[in-house]
Amino acid sequence: MIVVNLDRVTVRYIIEPIFEGLSWEIHEGRVVGLVGPNGCGKSTLLRLIAGEIGSETGFVVRAKERTIGFLHQEPGLTPGRSVWQEALAASPELARVEAELAEVEARMGQPAVYGDETALARALERQSRLLDEFERLGGPGYEGRVRSTLIGLGFSEADLHLPVEALSGGQRKLVGLARLLITKPDVLLLDEPDNHLDLRGKAFLEQIIADYPGAVVIVSHDRYLLDQVVDEIAELEDGRLTCYPGTYS
């Protein structure tokens, strides 16, 4: 199944095209290595797929009800948060539902609500809808998944309390990756995720990509990593995209 279809898309830098009339299909469950010279537009292409920028021509069609997660070269972490708080905030929708549930429960404790059958019935109905949404968003066990994801990426229990400002470049990348893995998007876009990672971090990354159930597009200059994880190569050069089956080598 095609999860993203680029049909004759064009993106320009000022007046010069980065790529023009480019078409590409990304298929469910495939791992694609996006390669090409520095400055050829690989990051721009990922931003287009993610919906961060638009195309001057053609269409970008994303499969209905499929989600896309994008790990930038420099993940945008929120200053003042700990590693745990940053990862826990991976699902704003879930945080919203939890806040609304707390509000409903507080209202149900008010005499004006529990003493009024109609008002109480409305509150109970809203609570039921919110609980269904909480379940759909993976709320039960959410904190456990956040913790196991961070530990699985190599963070210790003590590391979870570190402020994000104190993290190395590699650790920041892993926190950004953790946020994506927690939400499990159908399409995972990774822009040089191996930058700043030590050998252990690269081993974690390789295993994550190999086991990921959705589609993955990875930009990397590490030939070994690409040979280990990709099913196909998409080479971007001079505004043209050429796809090859198999690994980088």
Look up the pTM and report it: 0.82
pLDDT in tens, 89-136: 888 777 788 788 888 888 888 888 878 888 888 888 888 888 888 887
Q: What is the DSSP letter of 40?
A: S
Bridge partners of 238, per DSSP, are: none
Reduced to 3 states, what is the DSSP secondary structure of residue 232?
Answer: strand
- Candidates 169, 212, 223, 220; CA nearest to 188 is 212
pLDDT given at position 165: 94
Dist. CA 49–CA 28, nearest whole Å: 14
Query: Any idea which residue has 């280990």 for tokens?
Result: 228
Q: Following DSSP, what letter does each residue of 133-176 receive, concatenated? A: HHHHTT-TTHHHHHHHHHHHTT--TGGGGSBGGG--HHHHHHHH
Mean pLDDT value across the chain: 89
Q: What is the per-residue burial (b if ≥16 Cβ within 10 Å, else e) of 164-200?
A: beebeebbbbbbbbbbbbbbebbbbbbbbbbebbeee
Dist. CA 107–CA 123, nearest whole Å: 8
Dist. CA 48–CA 67, nearest whole Å: 14
Mean pLDDT, residues 235-243: 92
pLDDT in tens, 5-60: 999 999 988 878 898 999 999 999 999 999 999 888 999 999 999 999 999 999 99
pLDDT in tens, 134-177: 887 777 788 888 888 898 888 999 999 999 999 988 889 889 99
Q: What is the DSSP letter of 194?
A: T
Which H or E run contains 2? strand 2-13
